[in-house]
Chain A
Amino acid sequence: MEGLFVGFTAITWQNLLMMAIGGTLIYLAIKKEYEPALLLPIGFGTILVNIPFSSVLDQIEGGQQVAGALSYFFRVGILTEVFPLLIFVAIGAMIDFSPLFRRPLLLLFGAAAQFGIFFTMTAATLFGFDLREAASIGIIGSADGPTSIYVASRFARHLIGPISVAAYSYMALVPIIQPPVIRLLTSRRERLMRMDGSQKPISRTTLILFPILVTILTGMFAPTATALIGFLMFGNLVRECGVLKKLSLAAQNELASLVTLLLGITIASTMTADRFLQVSTLFIIGLGLCAFIFDTAGGVLFAKFINLFIKRKVNPMIGAAGISAFPMSARVIHKMGRQEDSSNFLLMHAVSANVSGQIGSVLAGGLILALVK
Chain B
Amino acid sequence: MTAATEAIFREALEITGKGMMALFAFMFVFFLLLVLLDRLFPGRNDEAGKQIL
Contacts and interface: CB of A to CB of B under 8 A. Distances in A.
A and B found bound together: yes
Interface of A: 96, 98-102, 104-105, 107-108, 110-112, 114-115, 117-119, 121-122, 124-126, 128, 130-131, 134-135, 199-207, 209-210, 213-214, 217-218, 221-222, 347-348, 351, 356, 359-360, 363-364, 367-368, 371-372
B38 A202 contact: yes
Interface residues of B, number: 38
Contacts of A110: 27
A368 B47 CA distance: 40
B43 A363 contact: no
A209 B37 CA distance: 8
B11 to A, nearest CB: 6
Chain B interface mostly: helix
A364 B9 contact: no
Given A125-B12, A202-B43, A118 B27 contact: no
Chain A interface mostly: helix
Nearest to A122: B12
Given A213-B37, A348-B52, 5 more contacts: A118-B15, A131-B8, A206-B40, A209-B41, A221-B26
Contacts of B50: 96, 98, 201-202, 207
B41 A205 contact: yes
A210 B9 CA distance: 38
A115 B38 contact: no
